[in-house]
């Protein structure tokens, strides 16, 4: 099944004409604690494994979508018109192609991110989730959350997790058309969730040298250690769920950090190797390890980029600010 068939199936019996002039939706950024790394189907963004994330409330993307009569799309990002040749424009255009239907609609998409774009902070996830919500609203489809998650996944895999606050698990699914591959909120005691924080350490602002999509593909195709990745994820998922059930922050931090390191190890082993770490990344990793040695419970996770996200308890906020004055703290 190709994407076109999947979309037609998902929207069967739904409006193929926009019902509103415009729609505006917000979706939060999600930080994977157990990473999505590798696809079994690159067209439908179907993953090899489940993954598990936590949302950053109030940090994310607000998207406004309108139909325009111009015969071409216009995309703006944080108020600036995007060149149609940028990678992000091409991906937006492919996503819009799903919804032009017989009338060959064209769209204006205004994307506002309140997080640094493409600095390894998963703005494409909140971006495609907000856009999926905006299409749903514009056409008045009223899709359920699982279908919206599938729609967002077709834009970017990790976007399927950006429709909820709190912990979210993406079930990889088994079926070839991906209709069982979507995310769901994972139950957690609110008090436990609210007891820890994510700290954004953005020490490298330049765009990354290789996209996560490309690095992921390259890893699956060439990394010898990738064969161990599904087992690593299964074990880490099991362990993180147990840690959440016990409300054990230290175990949650340890598991998240080791999962991120294992993902980076599969990339280092690919041909050519991908190393997203800069000198600063290594310095910060060492600083975090040194703090743990003096009994400060702080851990990191790292996506396909050089910047780190700290995981720590609210009760240690003062210590974090002291050691990482530039950190942007997000309370969960």
Decide if residue 233 touches ligand DP6 (CB under 6 A).
no
Q: Does 276 bind ligand DP6 (CB under 6 A)?
A: no
Q: How far is the CB of 39 from ligand DP6 (least distance, A)?
A: 7
Q: Of the two residues 33 and 327, which places its CB atom closer to ligand DP6 in the complex?
A: 33
Burial environment of residue 171 by CB neighbours within 10 A (0 to 12, 13 to 18, 19 or more)? middle
Task: Tell me the torsion sign for CA atoms 302, 298, 56, 117.
Answer: negative
- Choosing from 25, 67, 118, 122, the residue that interacts with ligand DP6 (CB under 6 A) is 122
Q: How far is the CB of 34 from ligand DP6 (least distance, A)?
A: 8
**Nearer to ligand DP6 among residue 138 and residue 161 (C-beta):** 161
Q: What is the C-alpha separation between 294 and 327, in angstroms, rounded?
A: 20
The counts of H helices and E strands in the chain are 10, 13
Output phi, psi for 62, to 5 deg.
-110, 125
The Cα 6–Cα 11 span in angstroms is: 9
Of residues 302, 246, 223, the one with CA closest to residue 35: 302
Among the residue ranges 32-40, 274-282, 286-294, 316-324, the one whose residues contact ligand DP6 (CB under 6 A): 32-40
Query: Per-residue contact track with ligand DP6, 173 to 202, x per CB under 6 A?
Result: ------------------------------
Q: Which of residues 50-69 bind ligand DP6 (CB under 6 A)?
A: 51
**294-313 positions binding ligand DP6, by CB under 6 A:** 303-304
Q: Which residues pair with 81 in a beta bridge?
A: 76
d(CA 158, CA 124): 8
Q: By Cβ distance, which residue is nearest to ligand DP6? A: 157
Contact set with ligand DP6 (CB under 6 A):
32, 35-37, 45, 51, 122, 124-125, 156-158, 212-213, 303-304
């Amino acid at each position: 099944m190709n994407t076109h068939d999947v979309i037609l199936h998902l929207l069967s019996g739904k409006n193929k004409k926009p019902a509103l002039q415009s729609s505006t939706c917000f979706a939060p950024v999600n930080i994977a604690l157990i990473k999505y790394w590798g696809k079994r189907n690159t067209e439908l963004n179907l993953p090899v494994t489940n993954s598990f994330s936590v949302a950053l409330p109030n940090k994310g993307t607000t998207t406004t979508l309108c139909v325009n009569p111009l015969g071409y799309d216009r995309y703006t990002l944080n108020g600036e018109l995007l060149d149609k040749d940028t990678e992000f424009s091409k991906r937006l255009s492919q996503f819009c192609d799903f919804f032009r239907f017989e009338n060959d609609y064209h769209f204006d998409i205004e994307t506002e991110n309140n997080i640094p774009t493409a600095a390894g902070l998963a703005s494409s996830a909140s971006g495609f989730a907000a856009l999926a919500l905006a299409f749903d609203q514009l056409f008045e489809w009223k899709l359920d959350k699982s279908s919206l998650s599938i729609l967002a996944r077709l834009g970017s895999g990790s976007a399927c997790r950006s429709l909820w606050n709190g912990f979210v698990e993406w079930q990889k699914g088994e079926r070839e058309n991906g209709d069982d591959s979507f995310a769901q909120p994972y139950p957690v005691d609110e008090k436990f969730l609210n007891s820890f924080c994510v700290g954004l350490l953005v020490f490298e602002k330049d765009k990354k040298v290789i996209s996560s999509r490309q690095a992921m593909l390259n890893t699956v195709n060439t990394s010898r250690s990738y064969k161990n990745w599904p087992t690593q994820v299964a074990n880490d998922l099991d362990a993180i769920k147990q840690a959440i059930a016990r409300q054990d922050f230290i175990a949650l931090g340890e598991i998240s950090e080791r999962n991120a390191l294992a993902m980076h190890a599969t990339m280092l082993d690919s041909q050519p190797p991908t190393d997203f770490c800069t000198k600063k990344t290594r310095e910060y990793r060492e600083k975090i390890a040194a703090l743990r040695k003096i009994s400060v419970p702080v851990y990191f996770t790292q996506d396909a980029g050089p910047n780190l996200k700290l995981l720590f308890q609210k009760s240690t906020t003062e210590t974090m600010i002291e050691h990482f004055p530039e950190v942007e703290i997000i309370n969960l």
